[in-house]
């Protein structure tokens, strides 16, 4: 989570970007948001769509993405229970191209593996 104590500081923006985009779950979270109406999903929806992620890690990743302006958060505290929504920003939506590229690459070179379309698959509906 913190990049302060290593050599990230010395890296240029692009190198830095690769590093946090490739953190575990990050791309899959972005994809889940993309699939929601208006690129928006609630915390519990994300949790349900990513069965193996823990609330702790999901919370951490969302905060990181918010800090990078890839995701914006909106809370409606006027109702109970509180309603919170996470939405891809414009820059966030543009990251979908990266994920789509990976999908096409995988379909081209790895088609001999498990067929897509199962409930477990978070990428193949892209």
Partner DNA sequence: CCGTATCCGACTTGATACTG
Partner DNA sequence: CAGTATCAAGTCGGATACGG
Distance CA 20, CA 60 (A): 12
Give the footprint of a second copy on residues 39-58 (CB under 8 A).
51-52
Largest Cα–Cα distance of the chain, in whole Å?
Answer: 51
User: Least distance from C-beta 78 to a second copy, angstroms?
Assistant: 32
Can you tell me which of 2, 4, 14, 81 binds a second copy, judged by CB under 8 A?
14
Should residue 35 be labelled a site residue for DNA when binding is judged by CB under 7 A? no
The H-assigned helical ranges of 50-95 are 55-67, 90-94
Of 20-28, 36-44, 58-66, 75-83, the window that binds a second copy (rule: CB under 8 A) is 20-28
Rounded to whole angstroms, the Cα distance separating 82 from 76 reads 6
Sheet holding 83-88, edge to edge: 40-42, 83-88, 71-76
What minimum distance in Å lies between the beta carbon of 6 and a second copy? 7
Is 83 one of the binding residues for DNA (CB under 7 A)?
yes
| Given 18, 67, 82, 121, the residue binding DNA (CB under 7 A) | 82
């Amino acid at each position: 989570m913190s990049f302060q104590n290593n050599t990230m500081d010395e890296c240029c923006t692009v190198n830095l970007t690769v590093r946090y985009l490739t953190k575990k779950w990050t791309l899959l979270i972005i994809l889940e948001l993309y699939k929601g109406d208006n690129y928006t999903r609630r915390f519990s929806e994300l949790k349900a769509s990513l069965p193996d992620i823990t609330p702790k890690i999901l919370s951490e990743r969302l905060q990181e993405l918010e800090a990078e302006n890839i995701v914006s958060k909106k809370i409606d505290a006027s109702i109970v229970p509180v309603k919170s929504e996470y939405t891809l920003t414009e820059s966030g939506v543009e990251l979908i191209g990266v994920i789509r590229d990976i999908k096409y690459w995988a379909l081209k070179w790895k088609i001999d593996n498990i067929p897509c379309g199962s409930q477990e698959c978070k990428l193949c509906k892209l």
